[in-house]
Structure 1
């Protein structure tokens, strides 16, 4: 394993691990805040119990995310010193602000966890809201830095020198809004369906169904609405990528030949050698419309891009198909929930309904991981798009593969610990929070 492959593998592992906890930190505190608000307004002890249970989960995820995020910051300097040397002064502002947001989030979470019966009720609730706001801000700021790598701005690149640096322009680059919007909605979709799925499973087991029904309803409400909105943000992102990164769009769609009325490809096996896609379903003109809002528009193919600038087509295409496929399933499931809640109440008493959402538990995070593969692999061979190649940024230090093995062991250990803690937390909920409290309408059939 050479340095470039080892470094990219280590970053892929680190980002793939950290992104899950980042998204939970962006979304789950808002679920907790809604439950807390309902307790303050209704006095229903079930919402208080739910809030406390969720707050412990937020704490577990926060600590794990803090560890993995800190490791990532070290990895940037360790694995990509040339990149950090030039890019650090340009896009350092969002990272600095993210550190500030993280600092405030840690304080707010401490106040929230230890503030029961010590603060006035509404101030205590506000500290929980601040956990959500700062967590959301942290995620958006990090995405802004990543967007800069896809759409570099805020500097002039002259004879290998980075001149006239403007950190504000770098932070608010052309890609930041579409990426931040898409990522934020994805965080609520993936976390909403994951949390709802866990509580749906507990409902199926028939224990403390009132408690789990209230939890399910809050989580899936966020997840369903955001899943329905996600295609809109996806469309905005696709049009943005078509303008700025035609090679990435071409790889996503395995679009080898520049043409008008370009077909949208569903599925298929890219044949990079023969420049074609086998066994695909093609919808004529649909890619032109999605990319440019016109069924007759020309879409740039890989034939117009130098071959040494081609992203890995197969990986990008498969990841994109997985992301879109999972997104469509979640969107349809979100619509199903809204129909059930407002029109078909009997579905809420059927075991198939909760079994469906239990099965969907991991799907949002699968889509999330696939989406990041599209973003990162689709940008290759550039670490700063059009300016610096990934191969130029990697460290010359030997033995990076051993660092990769070490980090893999660390992340595996963290995964085991977090899984154990969450399992224990979920297992203890029915025993700790009134296991005999059964929702009268949830006698599943």
Structure 2
């Protein structure tokens, strides 16, 4: 019988279980901002190394083609850095605006990594400026060295951000007494046990994304008939970086997954779509969970245990061993994880094929089918990277700090404002995307028309023009 006390208790229970109204717009805002910024961050991490190799080749071999490519890439890097600075600044504000519960509670814990990341960002900007305006004004050997601080600071900044994310997956470096954070150990946060491997996974992924995207630009040029030394060299160097990364990434990812059954068993169960604990566990390709039952999957016996647990018979812990309130969105996590792995495997196989054929004297750059694949390899690498982040972040839910703070506890309560903020951010990011495409296409068009350098209002006036 439904007495008033029973009804009241049920309503209170529903109120405590219901998600805050601001949670959905906050999640959408963070997904948009992070998903957009992470692409630019990959170029910030990987592009300087490619520029350095190209510039060094130009100096050592007195190769004007390589020097021209290095100079053009540096200008492209400046454009990407500029819009990345905007999106990165937006993200820094969003951490406090969208997630006041997280930053209000753990701001002291996360302060050091964020401070180092900001310092690295400014140093990278300084040396990028020196490098850009150093062409023809500095000795060649000194000038090329200006790229190294850019590469180093880009890596340091990325590591600091990844250390924070790794801490969210495996929190450490503080004590929680009566709901208050005490005994903060900033260095333990910066160098937590998951930071190095998670950074390595992202670092290698950055080289895949940037390398395949840059190589794809020149693949498109070759498809349009521009098969000169400029396009071939512009393809080979970034493709070589991407090739090493693509072959390395599966091993790094596998090592990163060691112990996931103990650290985050729900995430592993979602990755493997393990609804129940089976011994040995199969590898499930595709499939979704419908009403607690796995459907539409292709099961390969034993392989799930072998890959996930490094054992032919050790079972993958199933979702049935985990309280339902701690389950992540299983289908999204599983499909994102498999998308990442599937695309990564495809790209690794493609680069192995290319280099094996090249060693045998067969140039796949003469094959239009391969150039078409190379042209779409960049977008595929972007999808793989985004899918990996979706799997990582969605798979950690419902925790924003695993085992310590649930995501609804961290969000603010200004719902209407968050929806307006999401709309404004979408408009701004769309405008920046369109602006970047317009600027880069304009630069490419002028280069194709023979422009040696793009004009700058601050460039010194050539002597010939002064005489006129």
Q: What TM bracket, shorter-length normalisation?
A: over 0.9
- Cα deviation 1:92-150 (Å, max 9, x = unaligned): 21111111111110111010000112222112111112211211221121111111111
State how far apart, in whole Å, the 2-side matches of 1:52 and 1:360 are.
Answer: 24
The aligned counterpart of 2:214 is 195
- Answer yes or no: is the 8 Å Cα contact 2:25–2:415 preserved in 1: no
The aligned counterpart of 1:263 is 282
The aligned counterpart of 1:443 is none
Please give the residue correspondences for 1:205-284 in structure 2 after superposition, counting only pairs within 5 Å: 205-207=224-226, 209-271=228-290, 273=291, 275-284=292-301
Out of 35, 39, 47, the residue aligned to residue 54 of structure 2 is 35
Equivalenced residue count is: 432
Whose RCO is larger (CA < 8 A, sep 6+)?
A: 1
Q: Cα offset for 1:164?
A: 1.4
State how far apart, in whole Å, the 1-side matches of 2:88 and 2:259 are.
Answer: 28
The aligned counterpart of 1:16 is 35
Out of 193, 197, 202, the residue aligned to residue 174 of structure 1 is 193
The aligned counterpart of 2:80 is 61
State how far apart, in whole Å, the 1-side matches of 2:44 and 2:260 are.
Answer: 27
State how far apart, in whole Å, the 2-side matches of 1:326 and 1:63 are.
Answer: 30
- Answer yes or no: is the 8 Å Cα contact 2:21–2:413 preserved in 1: no
- Answer yes or no: is the 8 Å Cα contact 1:197–1:361 preserved in 2: yes
State how far apart, in whole Å, the 1-side matches of 2:267 and 2:336 are.
Answer: 12
Out of 318, 325, 331, the residue aligned to residue 308 of structure 1 is 325
State how far apart, in whole Å, the 1-side matches of 2:400 and 2:222 are.
Answer: 46
Out of 404, 423, 428, the residue aligned to residue 446 of structure 2 is 428
What is the TM-score normalised by the length of structure 2?
A: 0.90
What is the TM-score normalised by the length of structure 1?
A: 0.94
Q: Cα offset for 1:333?
A: 1.1
Out of 114, 123, 131, the residue aligned to residue 142 of structure 2 is 123
Higher mean displacement: 108-117 or 259-268: 259-268
The aligned counterpart of 2:66 is 47
SS at match of 1:360: helix
State how far apart, in whole Å, the 1-side matches of 2:442 and 2:343 are.
Answer: 29
State how far apart, in whole Å, the 2-side matches of 1:242 and 1:101 are.
Answer: 35
The aligned counterpart of 1:86 is 105
Q: Is 1:369 the equivalent of 2:401?
A: no
- Answer yes or no: is the 8 Å Cα contact 1:2–1:401 preserved in 2: no
Q: Cα offset for 1:208?
A: 5.8
State how far apart, in whole Å, the 2-side matches of 1:197 and 1:344 are.
Answer: 22
What is the RMSD computed on CA atoms of the aligned residues?
1.5
Q: Cα offset for 1:340?
A: 2.7
Q: Cα offset for 1:156?
A: 1.7
SS at match of 1:239: coil
Q: Cα offset for 1:307?
A: 0.6
Q: Is 1:161 the equivalent of 2:195?
A: no
State how far apart, in whole Å, the 2-side matches of 1:285 and 1:200 are.
Answer: 40
State how far apart, in whole Å, the 2-side matches of 1:371 and 1:104 are.
Answer: 29
SS at match of 1:173: coil
Q: Cα offset for 1:433?
A: 6.5
Q: Is 1:184 the equivalent of 2:203?
A: yes
The aligned counterpart of 1:339 is 356
Q: Is 1:291 the equivalent of 2:308?
A: yes
State how far apart, in whole Å, the 2-side matches of 1:344 and 1:244 are.
Answer: 48
State how far apart, in whole Å, the 1-side matches of 2:217 and 2:401 are.
Answer: 39
Extract unaligned runs of 5+ from structure 2. Answer: 1-19, 453-468
The aligned counterpart of 2:14 is none
Q: Is 1:136 the equivalent of 2:155?
A: yes
